[in-house]
Amino acid sequence: MEKTLTVCPYCGTGCKLNLLTENGKVVGAEAANGRTNEGELCLKGYYGWDFLNDTNLLVPRLKSPMIRREKSGKLEKVSWDEAIEFASSRLSSIKANFGSDAIMTTGCARGAGNEANFVMQKFARAVIGTNNVDHCARV
């Protein structure tokens, strides 16, 4: 069994925990002696990890890029290259026709982390050209 020291993905307390893995699967979590949690975890910290094993209890994991070619059509699986081309050309055309401020972007206050959010807002500000950046802080 391997242990990976990490931070709980649920509330803002910032509890340190060890994810226990075996053969590439998460099998448990144990409390670590972090600054704020001092060796303790709550219910979600101890039992909130098995979504990583794609349990499909509630919602399926996304594993392929998808696009909807027409508004009335259905989502279909495509390659990364095609998805990026589809999304970037549509965004560029909206930017050209309606201006940068016609595009809204959000950050993610959950598992993505600060670096991912930094790159998102850089994409919005430097590439799209708008300060339309916001996130789910109000929820």
Partner 1 sequence: MSNAITEIKDAKCLLIFGYNAGDSHPIVAKHILQAKANGAKIIVCDPRKIESARVADKWLQMKNGSNMALVNALANTIFAENLQDQAYIDKYTDGLEEYKKIISTYTPESVATITGLAPEDIRSVARLYATASESMILWGMGVTQYGQAVDVVKGLASLALITGNFGRRGVGCGPVRGQNNVQGTCDIGMLPNIYPGYQKVTNDAVREKFENKWGVSLSPNEGYKLTQMNHLVHDGKMKAYYIFGEDPAQTEADLAAFREMMGKLDLVIVQDIFMTQTAAMADVIFPATSWGEHEGVFSCADRGFQRFNKAINPPEGTKVDWKIFSLMATAMGYPMSYENTKEIWDEIRSLCPEYAGATYEKMEGLKSVQWPCTDEGDHDLGTSFLFEGNKFTTENGRGQLFASEWRPPQEIPDRDYPLVLSTVREVGHYSCRSMTGNCSALQTLADEPGYVQMHPLDAKSHGIKDQQLLWISSRRGKVITRANYNERINIGAVYMTYQWWIGACNELTIENLDPITGTPEYKYCAVKVEKIDDQSWAENHVQVEYSALRNKLRDVAKG
List binders of partner 1 among 11-30 (CB under 8 A).
11-16, 19, 21, 24-26
Q: How far is C-alpha 99 from the geometric centre of its chain's CA atoms?
A: 27
CA atoms within a 13 Å half-sphere pointing along the CA-CB vector of 27:
9
Judging by beta carbons within 10 Å of its beta carbon (0-12, 13-18, 19+), is residue 128 exposed, middle or buried?
Answer: buried
The answer to whether the beta carbons of residues 105 and 125 sit under 8 Å apart is no
Q: What gap in Å lies between CA 127 and CA 129, rounded to an integer? A: 5
Residue 39 CB, nearest approach to partner 1 (Å): 10
Residue 118 CB, nearest approach to partner 1 (Å): 5
Please tell me whether residue 36 binds partner 1 under the rule CB under 8 A: yes
CA atoms within a 13 Å half-sphere pointing along the CA-CB vector of 85:
6
Judging by beta carbons within 10 Å of its beta carbon (0-12, 13-18, 19+), is residue 120 exposed, middle or buried?
Answer: middle
Taking CB under 8 A as the criterion, which residues in 46-105 touch partner 1? 47-52, 54-68, 71, 74-77, 80, 83-92, 94, 98, 100-105
Q: Which of 1, 28, 30, 33 binds partner 1 (CB under 8 A)?
A: 33
How many residues at the interface with partner 1, by CB under 8 A? 111
Residue 1 CB, nearest approach to partner 1 (Å): 12
Residue 79 CB, nearest approach to partner 1 (Å): 10
